[in-house]
Amino acid sequence: MKYQRSSQLFKEASAVIPGGVNSPVRAFKAVGGTPIFVKKAEGAYIYDEDGNRLIDFINSWGPMILGHAFKPVVNAVVDKAKKGTSFGMPTEIETKIAALAISMVPNVDKIRFVNSGTEACMSAVRLARGYTGKEKIIKFAGCYHGHSDSFLIQAGSGAVTFGSPNSPGVTKGTAKDTLLAPYNNLNAVKHIFESNPNQIAAIIVEPVAGNMGCIPPAEGFLQGLRALCDKYKATLIFDEVMTGFRLAKGGVQELYGIKADLICFGKVIGGGLPVGAFAASDEIMSFLAPEGPVYQAGTLSGNPLAMAAGYALLEVLNKDADVYDRLAEKTAYLHQGISKALKRHKITHTINRVGSMISVHFTENTVVDFESAAHGNNDQFKKFFHGMLAAGVYIAPSAFESWFITDALTYDDLDFTIAAVESVASKL
């Protein structure tokens, strides 16, 4: 495949946009080479500026769960756009999507819409602090909750300790309020609660992790977090920006039958437009302005185009009783095929999968947290990525990302992908 035009466009972009991209992972830094510029996309495919067709396993990092340019979403957006694109005044569509989302997700009475997953997580933490009157939060190494200051904190050499910022610009003052634990490690969390009496406002967690590859919660992990939050009167925040409306209608709460206090959304809930949201019980949400004292606002929040897109997508997901089973079956089929192909060529690997999220790790150990995810052979991943790309299959340009399966994928597409793995594996 040729990427002359993408290379030229990247050069032009780099002259006026830092690193040539508006979000870092798009820049191919982890795999080398030049990012591919998209011309258009439809269903399971991306068509790039050089005229190649690629099977897409990123799907805008999750939102396009039923495929690109999904007709009901496109039609809803076009209809709305003709009537004005933003008012800064209430519209009925905001109530409609709120009511629909609440009906699909367990344990929530009210929902507030924002413009990104970052905003959702940032606001949820502020609300948790306002509600509990406490200041510190616990997060897990390798979990991503957007780029707001409190979340850009990394673990100190495996130890559970005060975090140090992993980005310049995040102050030590902010970092000291974010406490870190390894994912799937309940004892570490228990220890943090014990050594910070009456100071923990919230635990924020990806209840199925998706930002260090896909990592399922260990048996009892989420239940344990719930119990610790109850014991120490902290709030449990499920960051379901990735998993919400993807793993089940009601997300991980439904999938594993666990009740969170605050739930963050993004990605699927916006149908491919910039949307985030956070939801909770009446009691917690009543702390939010204008009803309560915790401030949160947005000029474009609840934007009519974005709400129409999200509503159209959620409506289809809500009505289709089989969609999540179908997605899980396709993902399991892919898992088996990839596994067989890699085994045949004696490539050491671990594949993690939950529902329609899957990740391939080039390591022999099980991948249960950031440390084990980081053991993967990155050189092998780079070769794998570029090999797949050359074969016409686009996976995330980083070993630390999940693949997102869309229902637009046919079994022919999956067979094509498995054949590509087979051929790439023979050269790894």
Which positions are annotated as active-site residues?
A: 144, 239, 267
- Whichever of 306 and 420 has its CB closer to ligand PLP, that residue is 306
Give me the residue label for tokens 């790039």: 48
- Whichever of 44 and 242 has its CB closer to ligand PLP, that residue is 242
Enumerate the β-bridge partners of residue 277: 113, 265
Using CB under 6 A as the criterion, which residues of the chain lie in contact with ligand PLP when the complex forms?
116-118, 121, 144-146, 206, 210-211, 239, 241-242, 266, 276
Separation of alpha carbons 360 and 350, rounded Å: 6
Number of C-beta neighbours around residue 194 at 10 A: 10
- Whichever of 170 and 420 has its CB closer to ligand PLP, that residue is 170
Question: What's the closest the beta carbon of residue 246 comes to ligand PLP, in angstroms?
Answer: 10
- Residue 294 near residue 136, CB atoms below 8 Å: no
DSSP label at residue 219: T
Strand, coil or helix: what is 174? helix
Enumerate the β-bridge partners of residue 244: 248
Number of C-beta neighbours around residue 372 at 10 A: 21
- Whichever of 140 and 232 has its CB closer to ligand PLP, that residue is 140
Question: What's the closest the beta carbon of residue 62 comes to ligand PLP, in angstroms?
Answer: 7
- Whichever of 241 and 367 has its CB closer to ligand PLP, that residue is 241
Question: What's the closest the beta carbon of residue 237 comes to ligand PLP, in angstroms?
Answer: 11
Question: What's the closest the beta carbon of residue 133 comes to ligand PLP, in angstroms?
Answer: 25
Number of C-beta neighbours around residue 14 at 10 A: 14
- Whichever of 21 and 419 has its CB closer to ligand PLP, that residue is 21
- Whichever of 249 and 267 has its CB closer to ligand PLP, that residue is 267
Question: What's the closest the beta carbon of residue 94 comes to ligand PLP, in angstroms?
Answer: 19
Separation of alpha carbons 2 and 424, rounded Å: 18
Residue with smallest beta-carbon separation from ligand PLP: 117
Separation of alpha carbons 17 and 12, rounded Å: 9
- Whichever of 57 and 232 has its CB closer to ligand PLP, that residue is 57
Between CA 45 and CA 53, with CA 48 as vertex, the angle to 5 degrees is 40
Question: What's the closest the beta carbon of residue 211 comes to ligand PLP, in angstroms?
Answer: 6
Expressed in angstroms, the distance from the first to the final Cα of the chain is: 19
Read off the tokens for 406. Answer: 């869309």
DSSP label at residue 179: E
Residues for the chain: how many in total?
A: 428
The enclosing H or E element of 136 equals strand 136-140
The enclosing H or E element of 315 equals helix 304-319
Question: What's the closest the beta carbon of residue 383 comes to ligand PLP, in angstroms?
Answer: 26
Measuring CA to CA, how many Å separate 164 from each of 204, 316, 352? 18, 43, 29
Enumerate the β-bridge partners of residue 202: 137, 235
Question: What's the closest the beta carbon of residue 274 comes to ligand PLP, in angstroms?
Answer: 7
Residue 163 CA to chain centroid, in angstroms? 23
Furthest CA-CA distance within the chain: 61
Separation of alpha carbons 230 and 180, rounded Å: 19
Separation of alpha carbons 334 and 268, rounded Å: 22
